[in-house]
A and B are shown apart, each in its own frame.
Chain A
């Protein structure tokens, strides 16, 4: 009899877990499926090659927005990845316990949770107003600020996973601390650090709010980094909130492309850096 109750309870708990998992997965696949259904129809070669057309005309594309997103993510990566990784190295290898590193760590945690629109406003005030125009540089800078705390924390976590005995083995061979970190500790953690950076890239490539105030958007090609520039998320926002059916279609197609970009970056992070010997 007791045995029977135990088995019944086991079955009940298992069903609850399975139900919760299904509830979690439904919206996830729902979003993907909905975007796929609405976006696939509008996706064609023109979408990738053409500029947006005037309202009411068909055949427009988002070529400038795709390139704009790539440019701003590139600017953000060029700033955010080195700064984030170097700061992460400093916090783990050189200054783990002082009040300064504790304060920096706390600040990065707070920054990670800050709504991205606030970063946009700050860059708008500090850069856009000072320089007098919206620009790709301002947009990239805003994205970099969102990236940096993410990369600092992931770099830190990955370096902490490298056993202290590996560092000691380096020192014991008469290798200086700097070289031990650069040539032994970093390569050991490289896979995780790169994965962290890729995930940060994936995270910022979908950001909309900070770009509204900084890059603004552009219906044409930007001629320099110092001009307003289009980006996928902002273009999606503008088209989706417009009253035109053609633009709604394009917004769906843009959403699909953006999701695919992020999935590709995620997959690359997962597979590209498998260890070479395994």
Chain B
């Protein structure tokens, strides 16, 4: 089941640059929330704060609060937190040394699950959820990087789902993919919505309109507007949102 996220006064730095300037945002469970905005507006930094990946880079700093299901993420161990908050990256990044099967179960296996039957079951369930099972079930021992780009990305989604997260962060998951592969990923996101809190960063406003229940518009490190997707796209309250979605900048 998804969990709610509540972000309070979040500020983040990358070196001397302040990339997030006080974000307050409520993110609903079992809901797809899209984050749109021009390049450099802080949307990637924002999602990377939620699983505490931002702070793994040298020279970064974060202040503020993020409450996940009633508990501050900064009171939790980051490694444990990332089992609850999964992430899919912009470029598919399967582990090159591992087979398809090993990729999917990497998270659970490296965290102690050794039982072969359990691993088999987890792999099948995750690959089915990622709509990849039928394409790879006969070649689970092939290298993960032998798949096409779109399949690799679904493999990465399966890999993230195998850990059974409550929140799934997706940082432009389809931007490196062709239109057909993008359609697959979007369908998948729609199916996953009922059981996860999904936060997706996208450059593509049509994509946000197609898949997101609510949309947030970021600009220069600030959250300009956040509301139901239909509202944001048809009746934005802020002039800057309107300018952006009508293509006047960005």
Of all chain A residues, which has the CB nearest B143? A277
Q: Check if B130 is an interface residue, CB within 8 A of chain A.
A: no
- Please indicate which of the listed interface residues B51, B83, B93 has the most CB atoms of chain A within 10 Å of its own CB: B93
Inter-chain contacts of B97 with A (CB < 8 A): 184, 187-188, 190
Please tell me if the beta carbons of B111 and A175 are within 8 angstroms of each other in the complex: yes
Instruction: Give the contact-size bracket for chain B.
Output: 20 to 34
Inter-chain contacts of B86 with A (CB < 8 A): 172-173
Inter-chain contacts of A37 with B (CB < 8 A): none
Q: Check if A8 is an interface residue, CB within 8 A of chain B.
A: no
Q: Check if B180 is an interface residue, CB within 8 A of chain A.
A: no
Given A172-B160, A173-B86, decide whether A184 and B111 contact each other with a Cβ distance below 8 A. no
Given A188-B95, A190-B97, decide whether A97 and B111 contact each other with a Cβ distance below 8 A. no
Assembled-state Cα–Cα distance A183/B111 (Å) = 11
Given A184-B95, A187-B97, A190-B97, decide whether A173 and B89 contact each other with a Cβ distance below 8 A. no
Please tell me if the beta carbons of A277 and B111 are within 8 angstroms of each other in the complex: no
Assembled-state Cα–Cα distance A174/B160 (Å) = 10
Chain A interface, >50% SS class: helix
Inter-chain contacts of B58 with A (CB < 8 A): 97
Given A176-B79, A188-B96, decide whether A169 and B156 contact each other with a Cβ distance below 8 A. yes
Please tell me if the beta carbons of A168 and B95 are within 8 angstroms of each other in the complex: no
Which of B56, B82, B146 is within 8 Å of A173, CB to CB? B82
Whole-angstrom distance from the CB of A166 to the nearest CB of chain B?
6
Please tell me if the beta carbons of A171 and B110 are within 8 angstroms of each other in the complex: no
Assembled-state Cα–Cα distance A166/B152 (Å) = 13
Please tell me if the beta carbons of B107 and A173 are within 8 angstroms of each other in the complex: yes
Assembled-state Cα–Cα distance A163/B160 (Å) = 19
Q: Check if B91 is an interface residue, CB within 8 A of chain A.
A: yes
Please tell me if the beta carbons of B106 and A173 are within 8 angstroms of each other in the complex: yes
Please tell me if the beta carbons of B111 and A168 are within 8 angstroms of each other in the complex: no
Inter-chain contacts of A278 with B (CB < 8 A): 143
Please tell me if the beta carbons of B83 and A174 are within 8 angstroms of each other in the complex: yes
Q: Interface digits, A191-235 against B, CB 8 Å rule (1 contact, 0 not)? A: 000000000000000000000000000000000000000000000
Q: List 19 A-B contacts (CB under 8 A).
A: A168-B53, A169-B93, A169-B94, A170-B95, A170-B110, A171-B53, A172-B82, A172-B86, A173-B82, A173-B86, A174-B111, A176-B79, A184-B95, A187-B98, A188-B96, A190-B97, A277-B143, A277-B146, A278-B143
B contact set with A: CB distance below 8 Å: 51, 53, 56, 58, 79-83, 86-87, 89, 91, 93-99, 106-107, 110-111, 142-143, 145-146, 156, 159-160, 163
